[in-house]
Amino acid sequence: MTPADVLISEVGPRDGLQSVKTTMPTPDKLRWITALHAAGLREIEVGSFVPARLLPQMADAAEVVHHAITLPGLRVMALVPNRRGAEAALAAGVHKITLPVSASEAHSLANVRKTRGQMVDEVREVLALRRERAPGVSVEVGLSTAFGCTLQGSVPEDEVIRLAATLVEAGVDEVGLSDTTGMANPAQVRRLFLRLRAEIGDRAGAAHLHNTRGLGLANCLAAWDVGVRGFDSSQGGLGGCPYAPGASGNVVTEDLVHMFEAMGVRTGVDGAALLAARAVLQQGLPGEPLYGMSVLVADGRH
Ligand code: ZN
């Protein structure tokens, strides 16, 4: 395995696929995940354990996990919203669970009809379940809307940090910050990750940044500058952004790998194999727009 200075966590099979209308057939998902692993990605969020009637794109999550855990050296992660989802994810054999908790009270109520406090209670239940059934599985929380919320506007930084501290006290292994709405700017990313690391040290988790306003890479670089070494991204920026046609949703994996490698920061990911995985993704979702500036250059289209 190539040594790496950063951990790029590929979230396309979850964050990307749940945002596209078409459901990617299971065999195509398995081929894509295999190709991502072959490119050197060592952590993949492969799906989400939510009721199939809410997200039919994720109905095959258990089957996808069964395949992914056979890939050597891969940490297989799934998103779960609650204890019930965690039970299914643990039964399937995931290595890591990630739970979203909104930093914005308005977003929390609109999205999951629960207050942030009630979501913290859900996390506690998942932690109890983990203790009982799978002590080796790690539990991460991504604080969504940490940099701003389309419903309530700004999200006080003190509240973000307090919530992170509460979650770590409850026993969460890592707390990351998510720019769900693409509102973050580099100065804010630097400030908030510095505060997070000062508050919870090594428990500070990944930067999950979106490219809604074109600041995705700049924000990743700002996070890198203050010591963040875990980054979520999605191949081809899959899923786009529902509020900004033409913009990718998540930071594009290809562009993030390109930026780091060009800086001499090792990602462990092979660029050519990553392009091969992109072709597998496109075959599984014909006609779906994929993003990535570095890829346009590689194609000679500029
Ligand atoms: Zn996201």
Q: Enumerate the domain spans of the chain.
A: 7-298
Can you read off the two tokens belonging to residue 152? Answer: 């309530």
The answer to whether 149 is a known catalytic residue is: no
111 alpha carbon – ligand 1 mean position (Å): 14
Number of H helices, E strands in the chain: 11, 8
In this structure, whether the domain defined by 7-298 belongs to CATH 3.20.20.70 is answered with yes
pLDDT band at 248 (very low <50, low <70, confident <90, very high): confident
Q: Specify the pLDDT at position 14.
A: 96
Q: Please give the helix or strand (H or E) that residue 79 lies within, else none.
A: strand 75-79
Q: Please compute the mean of the pLDDT values over residues 49-64 and round it to a whole number.
A: 95
Residues 20, 11, 237, CA angle at the centre, nearest 5°?
A: 55
Nearest to 210 by CA among 229, 187, 238: 238
Q: Residue 167: which of 146, 141, 194, 136 has the closest Cα?
A: 141
Q: What is the mean pLDDT of residues 214-221?
A: 97
- 102 pLDDT band, cuts 50/70/90, is very high
pTM comes to 0.95
The answer to whether the beta carbons of residues 211 and 237 sit under 8 Å apart is yes
User: In the structure, what pLDDT confidence band is assigned to residue 242 with cuts at 50, 70 and 90?
Assistant: low
Q: Centre a 10 Å sphere on the Cβ of residue 143 and count the other Cβ atoms it contains.
A: 28
**Does 60 have pLDDT greater than 90?**
yes
Residue 293 CA to ligand 1 centre (angstroms): 19
Instruction: Check if the beta carbon of residue 176 is closer than 8 Å to that of residue 163.
Output: no
CA of 10 to the centre of ligand 1 (A): 11
pLDDT at 38 over 60: yes
Q: Cα separation of 41 and 123, whole Å?
A: 27
Catalytic residue among 35, 155, 207, 241: 241
Distance (Å) from CA 15 to ligand 1 centroid = 6
Distance 238 CA to ligand 1 centre (A): 11
- Which residues, at least 6 apart from 288, have a Cβ–Cβ distance to it below 8 Å? 20, 22, 238, 282
